[in-house]
Amino acid sequence: MHVFIDNKSGTPIYDQIYTQIKSQIINGSLKEDEMLPSIRGLAKDLRISFITTKHAYDELEKEGFLYTVPGKGCFVAPKNVELLREENLKKIESHMEQIAVLAASCNLTKEELIAMLDFCMEDKT
Amino acid sequence: MYALEIQNLQKKFGDFTLDVSFSLPKGCVMGLIGTNGAGKSTTIKLVLDMLNKDGGTVKLFGKDHKDDLASAKEDMGIVLDGMGFPVGFTPKYIGSLLKDIYKNWEQDTYRSLLEKFDIPYTKAWGELSTGMKMKLNLAVALSHRPKLLLLDEPTNGLDPFARDQVLDLLMEFTRNEEHSVLISSHIVSDLERICDYVTFLDKGRVLVSDEKDALLARYGGLQLSAEEYAALGDLSPVHLRESHNGVEAILLREDLPAGVTPLPVTVEELFVAMVKEAREE
């Protein structure tokens, strides 16, 4: 597992940890049932508050990405396909919102946007 | 379970009145952040009964601090501003003395900390630089297996490299969930990341004492033009700065109209804003 904290990004530290671990679970670089570093251990390595780290782990556990075995530690939960799909849909939606804002700012029409999307999809499919 | 509980701790010196309450949960790091003369050192000295309190209660590890201060001190590592040893004492001699004073003294830990901090073993206290003295005090504080560290401005007089070493040591120390730290400073950047809790102190009063993340999540910043700001309606910001350039405000997120996303604030910005607000009242 790799987590890097960017002090200058303006994103809360807990959010940075949460997002990075989650994306590593989603993209498969963190495997099912893999043990994560202990909360205090990670806090020490990143030199951040213990509560900040716990906050990120708690959030991931609440959303079903982690599970805790008392006395042992935190582990990556088995992949939940529905959950992953939901996550990705949410991401696409938020990107699209940004696209809509950007497109409006330079007067792109819906047709032009669709043409751009078609062009992007050609490579992928 | 709290390592330190302070309830309405009071002290009066002339026209300065201290009246503070806050609690440090076990296993956590609390930053006591205050302006110069806010009462940070006084609070720590009252906890250690080095000054007589005028009122209130202090509990160390769940027991009144005066009950058995000697044994509580065995479990505490203390660094105070201006604390020192007689000028002729060398780190070597200090170690041999403290070995007989602290029940849990660990000579190996002491030696390795001195090495880590590059403190000459046989140089007299009087000849050590300010930074060296501070690092020696820290080495002493950490060498008798303390459960609670009370550190008053421990990074004062240290260069950035040494400050970094101190932060490392503190993070190492708090890996153990029985270990707690109260660290006072006016250099907020040192504490911003590592603290679990923060307590803001100004003129003898606690402005706020809370979990750092929760506190930062409650407040947000705005940077807008004067017109945009006025359009948001009647807000009651903690802090407001108006210039030709526009408006900078720090305020409670819940006071903002829906749809307005504020910028995150730092501990330092929030501290300055709260001190200003308190002084305007």
Q: What is the CATH number of the domain that holds A37?
A: 1.10.10.10
Closest CA to B267 of B32, B47, B14, B78: B32
Residues A34 and A56 placed together within one structural domain of the fold: yes
Residue A4 maps to a domain: no
Q: Rounded CA gap, B144 and B133, in Å?
A: 18
- At B206 the pLDDT is 97
Q: Does residue A6 belong to any structural domain of this protein? A: no
- Do residues B161 and B126 touch, judged by C-beta distance below 8 A? no
The mean per-residue pLDDT over the stretch B112-121 comes to 92
Q: Are residues A115 and A69 in the same domain?
A: no
Residues of chain A with pLDDT under 50: none
* Residue A120: C-alpha distances to residues A90, A116, B183 (Å): 20, 6, 54
The reply to whether B250 and B124 lie within a common domain is no
- φ/ψ region of B62 (left if φ > 0, alpha if ψ in -120 to 50, else beta) reads left
Based on the fold, state whether residues A86 and A70 are members of the same structural domain.
no
Residue B183 clears pLDDT 90, i.e. is over it: yes
**What tens digit of pLDDT does each residue of B190-238 get?**
788 899 999 999 999 999 999 999 999 999 999 888 888 888 888 888 8
Average pLDDT for B81-109: 92
Confidence at B38, pLDDT banded by 50, 70, 90: very high
Q: Are B279 and B202 in contact (CB under 8 A)?
A: yes
Give me the domain span that covers residue A40.
13-76
Strands B55-60, B148-152: parallel, antiparallel or unpaired by DSSP? unpaired
**Cβ neighbours of B176 in A, within 8 Å:** 40
Indicate whether A108 and A62 sit together in one domain: no
Q: Which of A7, A10, A49 sits opposite B196 (nearest CB)?
A: A49
Q: Which amino acid is at B113?
A: L
Same domain, B191 and B108: yes
Across the interface, do A44 and B193 touch by the CB < 8 Å criterion? no
Residues of the domain holding B100: 2-203
Nearest CB neighbour to B196, from listed A13, A41, A51: A51
Task: Report how many domains make up chain A.
Answer: 2
Percent of chain B whose predicted confidence (pLDDT) is above 70: 100
pLDDT the model gives residue B126: 93
In a domain, A61, yes or no: yes
- The whole-number pLDDT of residue A125 equals 60
> Does any CB of chain B come closer than 8 Å to the CB of residue A13?
yes
Tally of structural domains, chain B: 2
Tell whether pTM > 0.90.
Answer: no
Q: Are B121 and B137 in contact (CB under 8 A)?
A: no
**What does the alpha-carbon distance between residue A49 and residue B212 come to, in Å, rounded to a whole number?**
9
**Cβ neighbours of B174 in A, within 8 Å:** 40, 43-44, 50
Predicted pLDDT at B146: 95
Q: Which two tokens stand for residue B76?
A: 């505490």
When pLDDT is averaged across residues B55-65 and rounded to a whole number, the result is 94
ipTM over 0.85: no
Provide φ and ψ at B257, rounded to 5°: -65, 150
pLDDT in tens, B4-27: 999 999 999 999 999 999 999 999
Whether residue B211 is contained in a domain is answered as no
Asked if residue B135 and residue B33 are part of one domain, the reply reads yes
User: Which residue, among B24, B28, B193, B270, would best test binding to A if mutated, counting the most A CBs under 10 Å from its CB?
Assistant: B193
Distance from CA of B181 to the nearest CA of A (A): 12
Do residues A91 and A54 both lie within one domain?
Answer: no
